[in-house]
Amino acid sequence: MKINIKILHASCCARNSFIKNQLERLANEHDLSVHIEEFSEMQDTLIYGTTEFPALVIDQKVYPYKHYQSDTDLTTLLKAS
């Protein structure tokens, strides 16, 4: 099953971020199928109810990236989805 991930950035942050690269690398290492989208426009990010950026939306649940930025924590989130 494919894991749907959205990366929510502040409007000043560039797309194709290190976060996307990290998620893709972890998915490959653990044989997980992911679909990743990145958003930085205010109208796209506010619908998720967070003001903490960057944030991850994994299967419609929001996670502040700074709380889950290690490879171990992200792998745990991905495998739990």
What are the φ/ψ torsions at residue 24 (nearest 5 degrees)? -65, -40
Q: How far is CA 23 from the centre of its chain?
A: 7
Q: What is the pLDDT of residues 40-52, one digit of tens each?
A: 888 888 899 988 8
**Where exactly are the structural domains of the chain?**
3-80
Pick the CATH number of 3-80 from 3.40.50.300, 3.50.30.50, 3.30.110.40, 3.40.30.10: 3.40.30.10
**Quick one: pLDDT at residue 11?**
64
Other Cβ atoms less than 10 A from the Cβ of 57: the count is 19
Reported pTM? 0.89
φ and ψ of 30, to 5 deg = -110, 15
**Average pLDDT, whole number, for the chain?**
90
Kindly tell me if the per-residue pLDDT of 29 is higher than 90: yes
